[in-house]
Structures are given as C-alpha cells and as structure tokens.
Amino acid sequence: MSDEKRLHAMKALSCFSKYLGIYSFFKDLVKSYDLKWSSGNSDLVIIRRLLRSRNDDDIRDWISTVKRKVPRLSTFIDFMVATGLRKNESLNSYNLIIDLSRRNRLEEYYLDQTLEHFKFHQIFLRPTKKAFISFVHEEMIDNIVDSEKLTDSIINKLLQRRRIKLRFADIREYWASVMTKHLSVAEIDFLQGRVSSNVFMTNYFNPLLIKDLKTRTLKGIRDLLNLEVSN
C-alpha cells in the first residue's frame, strides 16, 4: 500500500473509531498489530528508535506487570523480548515450536540456537512483512516446549480482564533500541525482517558472518532478559 493510501485508510479508521466511541480501543489495536501511518524511511526509523529508547523503563515496567499478573503469558512475553518479532510472528513461532516438539520434529525448525522461519515460508514470509531467522537460547525453547499453545484472542482477553493495555509493538521497538549496543542498524533490520529475500539468502549462507552475528545477538538477548529481572 502506498503512503498516501495508507494514511487515508488510517485517518478513516481513526475518525470512524471516534464516531463509535472506541478510539482508545483503536489506538490499542494500532500498537498491538504494529500498524503504521506511513512506511517512512530509514532515517525516520532510526530517529524513532532513539526517541523510544527514552521510554525503555516504561516498557520494562509493562513487561514486569504482565508477567506478574498473568503468569500464563510469562514465557511468551520473554520470547517476544528475546526475538523482537511482531506479535503475530511471535505467536506463530511459539505455537509452531510446541507443535513440532510434540511430533518430534523440532529440529526441522530449530537448529544450532537458530529458529529458521524461512523454511515455513507460508507462515513467515508475507508480501509486506517477513521474518527469516531468530537466534534463541536453548533454555527458552525448553520453556516454550513445556507450555500450552496460545491464540491472539486468549492473549488479548487475559490482558483486558486485568485492564492491562496492549503494548506488544513497543516490545519490538524496545528490542531494537537495546540491540543497538550490540548490532548495527542493518543487522537489526536483517533480524527483524526488513530486508529483501535476496539480501537474506546472500548473508545467511555466509557461515563466518552468521556465526559472529549470532554470538553478538545472543549476548544482547541475555542483556535484555537481565534488564527485565533487575527492573
């Protein structure tokens, strides 16, 4: 969708939600599903990340609140924090890990601390939003395997019942802001699926490059999860 059409659609939905008296719900959906008013450019993305980094304490408080008040979502929230995936991508990956594990086929997806989303292209490689790979520690995968599957409806209802706002899109930005200490902007875009399939394939099959990227990413994930604990 072009920027002009995207802006027109978002404005129309915003006005309609105000007319129906559900504007706050509309704003929650925009955050939860990472909807954009425009596609923007790389400079604006960088600026947004820098500005959002000021609110890291706020999102850490939200994460802690969710894990404390809704223990059932604790592992899922940790998974989102570790991967920086979008909410729907995280949910698909989370459930796929559980499914494959129960069928003794997890190695088809998770190998050498790497979730290879691209192998399940019908799920993760959409026309405008993609997820190619995620680096994840084995202990987190073990925690997911021992969990029950979730749905978007279950997640939202669990939070709404406790009057907790939906802030899943902020986790993705939080991941990116913390990871700037370990990764370049290009590497962050690579892991968050903001590159073409050709760029991904060229880089992923370079063993030396990927080994170094994985080492730094896993260190960054440790920092992210430690920040949660210390908060």
**Distance (Å, rounded) from C-alpha 150 to C-alpha 154?**
6
Same domain as 33, residue 112: no
Summarised one tens digit per residue, pLDDT across range 101-123 is 999 999 999 999 999 999 999 99
Summarised one tens digit per residue, pLDDT across range 82-97 is 999 999 999 999 999 9
**Distance (Å, rounded) from C-alpha 200 to C-alpha 133?**
9
Same domain as 123, residue 17: no
Residue 18 is part of which domain span?
1-39
Indicate the pTM of the whole model: 0.76
Compute the average pLDDT of residues 161-173. Answer: 94
Sequence-ordered list of residues with C-beta below 8 angstroms from that of 208, at least 6 positions apart, any chain: none
Same domain as 170, residue 117: yes
DSSP strand pairing (114-116 vs 133-135):
antiparallel
Q: Which pLDDT score is estimated for 47? A: 45
CATH code, 183: 1.10.443.10
Same domain as 116, residue 48: yes
Same domain as 17, residue 93: no
Same domain as 14, residue 74: no
**Distance (Å, rounded) from C-alpha 100 to C-alpha 42?**
36
Same domain as 123, residue 146: yes
Same domain as 65, residue 7: no
Same domain as 58, residue 7: no
Q: Is the per-residue pLDDT at 8 higher than 70?
A: no
